[in-house]
Amino acid sequence: MNARTGKVKRIWRGAILVAGCLAVAAWWAYRPLQGGSVQREDAHLPSESAVTVHLFEWTWEDVARECEEVLGSAGYRAVQISPPQEHVMIPELNFPWWQRYQPVSYQLISRSGDRAQLADMVQRCRAVGVEVYADAVINHMAAVDAAPGSAGTEFSRYDYPGLYRREDFNDCQQSITDYQNAEQVTQCELVELPDLNTALPRVQAQLADYLADLSSLGIAGFRIDAAKHMRSAELAAILQQVRDRVEPDPFIYQEVIDPGTEAIKKSDYYGSGDVIDFEYGRIVGEAFLNVGDRTLAGLHDALSAADLVPSHQSMVFIDNHDKQRGHGGGGNYVTYQDGKLHTLAMVFMLAYPYGKPRIMSSYAFATSEQGPPATVAGRTRTVYEPDRLGCGGEWVCEHRQPAVKAMVAFRTVTQAVPEVTDWWSDGGNQMAFGRADRGFVVINREVTTLTRTFQTQLSAGDYCEVIGAEADGDCDRVIAVNEAGEFTTTVAGMSAIALHHGALAAD
């Protein structure tokens, strides 16, 4: 390593640390919610530069360790955890992933760990600047006729001791068949899951108690599972009870799958918090997968023309735990099984100024029902187990990919410029765009090499190519931008490069 390269390395690492500090500083915000509600100035509201990672089915101890060893230093600002409440156990199906989404009680004992382990994890993550969001399953209860839960609770369908009885559920008690009928979507059962009557004050109080209890442990926000299956006014009433009791307000983001052809609209839920926009992931996925005549060339126009959630109120993703498995309303989504294509799609999401990005961190699976890596008894295996494959094997750990980590920092550095500049494409699957004078990214989805001079708004200087630098731990590649804002470079097939003003090289 020559002296110049060594100096670049120090400056590049410093840029990553500065980016992390900027993200923390931007965490607190004030904004009105569409529909009239207002969140308090001290609410747990992330900026649009803040990146969340979903550590799907990780144990609480592993989440804590990942916060300390990876997430905090990489600039991730939040981690989404799997549902923490007691859930059904289904050994005859080898403990499938979806058992977590069938609550038995609101005791905080799940296959990820117990209450004490959850509380410890939250504090350890917060100590390194990473907030924790819980996946909150509050629309329904477990559908199994009779079984013990993960905390040992004995229950039967529509009878959950000390919590709910049959009169606490909606009268329909049949599966939803018509998504053009709003009453059926919100009052009948999602795949036979007992549907709580969230109009009842006692049900609302139980649900608010559960969320407030999680908040008391330091949980900073909630993904509201199956939000579209609750009347928006009833969900808003539950969340308002939580806000009345908890300071600061929790960050709320709601699962509302709205393809634009059904009775329930995502805009119905803007008054309660952010909304997860499934259309964004579909549009990006179809471009990267080249579905029909779609290519990267038309991606910016397609997103600009789409009826998306307003950016400041949107959570976006490339794939999630449902879409990976073909669940949740269909559509074409890129997943870890698409290899480099998936990495490039995540690079795009983190570079593109829309919504709050969430990175999916998966485990490898062969069937859509398969649960996480576990023992025969259903005990989830640790990601850090020394005699097993861990990340890169049983656990995919997309969030650790060098390209993804580099782009988390890119997003933070470019946050002040919420628009796309200097868009370029070859008319097919090679594209580039800037974020004014803050950064520039080039994505080559072709197998052939791309060599070109790019026009940017970057200041003249020598820039570290940050994706390669993250992979190598060193800035081996320096790209010179001239006084006109131009640079010439070569990008290998199925790869990307990124420059930003937080990673300037020095002479």
Spatial CA neighbour of 229 closest among 306, 163, 149, 137: 137
> What CA–CA distance (Å, rounded) separates 335 from 493?
19
> What CA–CA distance (Å, rounded) separates 432 from 360?
24
Cite the DSSP H helix spans in 71-170.
Answer: 72-74, 115-127
> What CA–CA distance (Å, rounded) separates 292 from 132?
39
How far, rounded to the nearest angstrom, does the alpha carbon of residue 258 sit from its chain's CA centroid? 18
> What is the distance in angstroms between the CA of the first residue and the CA of the last residue of the chain?
15
DSSP string, 333-402: ---GGGTHHHHHHHHHHHHS-SSEEEEEE-B--SSTT--SSB-TT-PBPPTT-TTS--BTTTB--GGGSH
Q: Is 476 a catalytic residue?
A: no
In contact, 399 and 53? CB cutoff 8 Å: yes
> What CA–CA distance (Å, rounded) separates 265 from 406?
35
**Residue 248: is the preceding peptide bond cis (ω within 30°)?**
yes
* Tokens standing for residue 367: 């069937």
Beta-bridged to residue 146, according to DSSP, are 156
| Sign of the dihedral through C-alpha 102, 256, 290, 54 | negative
Spatial CA neighbour of 131 closest among 270, 295, 243, 250: 250
Burial 94-124 (b: 16+ CB within 10 A, else e): ebbbbbbbbbbbbbbbbbbbbbebbbbbbeb
> What CA–CA distance (Å, rounded) separates 195 from 175?
10
Burial 304-323 (b: 16+ CB within 10 A, else e): eeeebbeebbbbbbbbbbbb
Look up residue 104 and give its DSSP letter. Answer: S
Give the DSSP H/E element, type plus range, for residue 12. Answer: helix 3-25
> Which of the residues 225, 234, 319, 398 is marked catalytic?
225
Residue 488: CB partners within 8 Å, gap ≥ 6? 451, 452, 453, 454
| Amino acid at site 133 | Y
> Which of the residues 62, 131, 189, 255 is marked catalytic?
255
* Tokens standing for residue 145: 């006729």
Q: Is 225 a catalytic residue?
A: yes
**Tally of residues, the chain:** 507
Catalytic residues: 225, 255
